[in-house]
Amino acid sequence: MLTFGETMVALRGSGPLKLGGTMRVSVAGAESNVAIGLARLGHRVRWTGAVGADEAGELVLRTLRAEGVEVSGATVDPDAPTGLLLFEPRLPELTRVHYYRAGSAGSRPSAAAVERAFAAAPPRVLHLTGITPALGPTARASANLALDLARRHATLVCLDVNFRARLWSAAEAADVLRDWLPFVDVLIASEDELPLCLPAAGRHPEGPPPARLLAAGVREVVVTRGADGATAYTGDGDPRHQPAVPVRAVDPVGAGDAFVAGYLSALLDGADAAGRLARAVTTGAFAAASPGDWEGAPTRAELDLLAAPPGTVVR
């Protein structure tokens, strides 16, 4: 399993940034969040990308290593800094995210690193998000190369659309993601992200977005619906829906990445669509019930804990 993207140092404030206060230091990145989630579930997973030759980059690599993620294919860029991410809790149900990643090492990952990752051991699954191509032309070119290599090596490709309006426009995203569609086996997106991936009008039969995407060659379309769970469309029968696992939400950030990790974990284990969705909503619930991007990701032994009655003490 291989993930490719940018991982940054993450600072989490205790309140509005302009008022000062304390900040907690961690790391964050959609692709590495998925990698950590998979590693905790017992899978062998590699992350490739670029960090700066700085203390922030050391923190990123050290954290991923500590979580059991293979990072030997990562690049250390001596001429660009590691990216920075600030989380600002503004209201009980609203958090603002501030990016400082323009010109970062992660925005200019080496194509050679991607080539090395496939040459060393072609992965069974490649996981990409729509964030990486939004970072700039170098990151986009390296992601395109990863897709080409995945096709050559018959590697299954999972794309989490993960649209970030603060990084690029919907029109820019659609131009790239529609070109990526022929390479994608598993597409994961929220309902409002699906139009970004739809083929141009007239190229495939009209109909609901999932049906159009399946007609374009995607094998599985997974639509995430937040508190309403998720639905998988595979074209071999009726859609399969899985309600969300009810938990007391603490921090929704990272829940989508945890969902992806659970889905891919079950896919790697050979589970059917129902089993993939069940594990995905479980891992997503763990993340939502815990602070941080990846800190609440469960181990395989912990997957059944959410079924315990409230107030349970495991001794």
The better pLDDT of the pair 178, 308 is held by: 178
Q: What local confidence, expressed as pLDDT, does residue 314 receive?
A: 75
Dump the DSSP string for 152-215. Answer: HTT-EEEEE----TTTS-HHHHHHHHHHHGGG-SEEEEEGGGGGGTPPPTTSS--S-HHHHHHH
Distance of CA 49 to the CA centre of its chain: 14
Q: How confident is the model at residue 205 (pLDDT cuts 50, 70, 90)?
A: low
Q: What local confidence, expressed as pLDDT, does residue 201 receive?
A: 67
pLDDT digits (tens, 9 = 90+) for 256-301: 999 999 999 999 999 999 999 999 999 999 999 888 889 999 999 9
CA distance 194 to 154: 25
**Burial of 227 (C-beta count, 10 Å sphere; 0-12/13-18/19+):** exposed
The reply to whether 262 falls in a domain is yes
The reply to whether 312 falls in a domain is no
Q: What local confidence, expressed as pLDDT, does residue 292 receive?
A: 85
pLDDT digits (tens, 9 = 90+) for 81-97: 999 999 888 887 788 88
Q: What is the arrangement of strands in the sheet containing 84-91, beginning at the earlier edge strand?
A: 23-28, 8-13, 84-91, 94-100
The reply to whether 216 falls in a domain is yes
Q: How confident is the model at residue 30 (pLDDT cuts 50, 70, 90)?
A: very high
Tell me the average pLDDT across 119-129: 94
Q: How confident is the model at residue 218 (pLDDT cuts 50, 70, 90)?
A: very high
Q: What local confidence, expressed as pLDDT, does residue 294 receive?
A: 94
Residues carrying an active site annotation: 257
Average of per-residue pLDDT values in the chain: 93
Q: For residues 100 and 85, is the Cβ–Cβ distance under 8 A?
A: yes
Q: For residues 108 and 141, is the Cβ–Cβ distance under 8 A?
A: no
Q: What local confidence, expressed as pLDDT, does residue 90 receive?
A: 82
Rounded to 10 deg, the angle between the 255-268 and 273-288 helix axes is 150
Closest CA to 80 of 110, 107, 100: 107
Out of 15-19, 81-85, 109-113, which region has the weakest mean confidence (pLDDT)? 15-19
Whether 306 shows a pLDDT value over 80: the answer reads yes
The reply to whether 62 falls in a domain is yes
The reply to whether 314 falls in a domain is no
Backbone angles phi, psi at 300, to 5 degrees: -60, -35
Out of 7-21, 74-88, 220-234, which region has the weakest mean confidence (pLDDT)? 7-21
pLDDT digits (tens, 9 = 90+) for 147-202: 999 999 999 999 999 999 989 999 999 999 999 999 999 999 999 999 999 987 65
pTM: 0.94
Number of domains the chain is built from: 1
What percent of the chain lies above the pLDDT cut of 90? 77
Q: What local confidence, expressed as pLDDT, does residue 203 receive?
A: 58
Domain that holds residue 65: 2-297
Q: What local confidence, expressed as pLDDT, does residue 192 receive?
A: 94
The reply to whether 202 falls in a domain is yes
Q: What local confidence, expressed as pLDDT, does residue 7 receive?
A: 97
The CATH number of residue 286's host domain is 3.40.1190.20
Closest CA to 225 of 279, 284, 179, 276: 284
**Count of Cβ atoms closer than 10 Å to residue 91 Cβ:** 7
Whether 55 shows a pLDDT value over 80: the answer reads yes
Q: What local confidence, expressed as pLDDT, does residue 202 receive?
A: 59
The reply to whether 137 falls in a domain is yes
Q: How confident is the model at residue 124 (pLDDT cuts 50, 70, 90)?
A: very high
pLDDT digits (tens, 9 = 90+) for 238-258: 899 999 998 888 877 889 999
Greatest mean pLDDT range, 47-61, 95-109, 111-125? 47-61
The reply to whether 126 falls in a domain is yes
Whether 204 shows a pLDDT value over 70: the answer reads no
